């Protein structure tokens, strides 16, 4: 079991560019979560899919951020027109259908210059 | 303000010593989880303690929960250098599934 896979591990973008982050959940897990981690705000929930359907996006910024899960083996988080304040570690986690435990990937460190 | 908060903000101990991290939370819970995050890695669950439990053990780890005071603690005995990490308490994970984390306690275990 490879665990949750996130690519790339590091991404540097210029202000105004687009960034797409990829997540491959653990095989058989039905729930996928995205979190953002910064020193100041800590770990913040962004969005959650269950069986590929969006369930809760209450943490997603209203503009520029979008997430998709086109199939059970991967999810993407897209940030359009990146801004310096988007710099953070973006973490993906997956969970079995009824289990409260979430298994996290190593994260993607996004740096916006 | 944070819905979950760990204290102290940082701790430093020597190998073999015991250490306790505290957590206060502001929501009603069905369970509370403790996670550990090592440098360059994502958080990993250590212990889940349900609202009807007062204590839970996992090897050198012991978690307590007091729902009346909305607080929890995580104790680590016989610490090792590899316990160096940031420790978080997390609430939620119930119907809403999303976890609410505190800012964490940074633990440094020195040889």
The tens digit of pLDDT for each residue in B22-48 reads: 999 998 888 999 999 999 999 999 999
pLDDT at B4: 87
* Residue B94, pLDDT above cutoff 70: no
Summarised one tens digit per residue, pLDDT across range B2-20 is: 688 898 999 999 999 999 9
- Residue numbers in B near A45 (CB within 8 A): 98-100
Lowest average pLDDT, out of A97-101, A107-111, B52-56, B99-103, goes to A97-101
Q: Is B19 on the interface with A (CB under 8 A)?
A: no
- Residue numbers in A near B41 (CB within 8 A): 104, 106-107
- On average, the pLDDT of chain B sits at 93
Least CB-CB distance to A104: which of B42, B96, B102? B42
pLDDT at A104: 97
Each as own residue / partner, the long-range contacts of residues A82-87 (CB below 8 Å, 24 or more positions apart, any chain) are A82/A13, A82/A14, A82/A15, A82/A16, A82/A17, A82/A18, A82/A19, A82/A110, A82/A112, A83/A15, A83/A112, A84/A15, A84/A112, A84/A113, A85/A112, A86/A19, A86/A110, A86/A112, A87/A38, A87/A111, A87/A112
Contact B101 A43 (CB under 8 A): yes
Q: Is B88 on the interface with A (CB under 8 A)?
A: yes
Mean pLDDT of B92-97: 70
Contact A43 B40 (CB under 8 A): no
């Amino acid at each position: 079991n490879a665990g949750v896979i996130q690519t790339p591990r590091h991404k540097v973008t210029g202000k105004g560019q687009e960034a797409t982050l990829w997540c491959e959940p653990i095989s058989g897990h039905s729930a996928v979560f995205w979190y953002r981690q910064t020193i100041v705000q800590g770990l913040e929930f962004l969005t959650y899919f269950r069986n590929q359907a969006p369930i809760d996006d209450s943490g997603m910024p209203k503009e520029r951020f979008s997430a998709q899960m086109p199939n059970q083996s991967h999810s993407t988080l897209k940030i359009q027109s990146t801004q310096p304040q988007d710099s953070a570690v973006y973490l993906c986690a997956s969970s079995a259908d009824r289990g409260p435990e979430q298994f996290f990937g190593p994260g993607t460190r996004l740096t916006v210059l | 303000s944070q819905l979950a908060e760990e204290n102290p903000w940082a701790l430093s101990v020597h190998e073999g010593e015991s250490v306790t991290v505290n957590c206060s939370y502001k929501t009603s819970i069905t369970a509370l989880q403790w996670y550990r995050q090592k440098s360059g890695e994502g958080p990993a669950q250590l212990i889940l303690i349900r609202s009807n439990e007062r204590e839970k053990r996992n090897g050198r780890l012991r978690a307590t929960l007091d729902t009346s005071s909305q607080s929890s603690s995580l104790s680590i005995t016989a610490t090792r250098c590899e316990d160096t990490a940031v420790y978080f308490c997390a609430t939620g994970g119930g119907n809403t599934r999303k976890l609410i984390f505190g800012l964490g306690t940074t633990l440094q275990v020195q040889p």
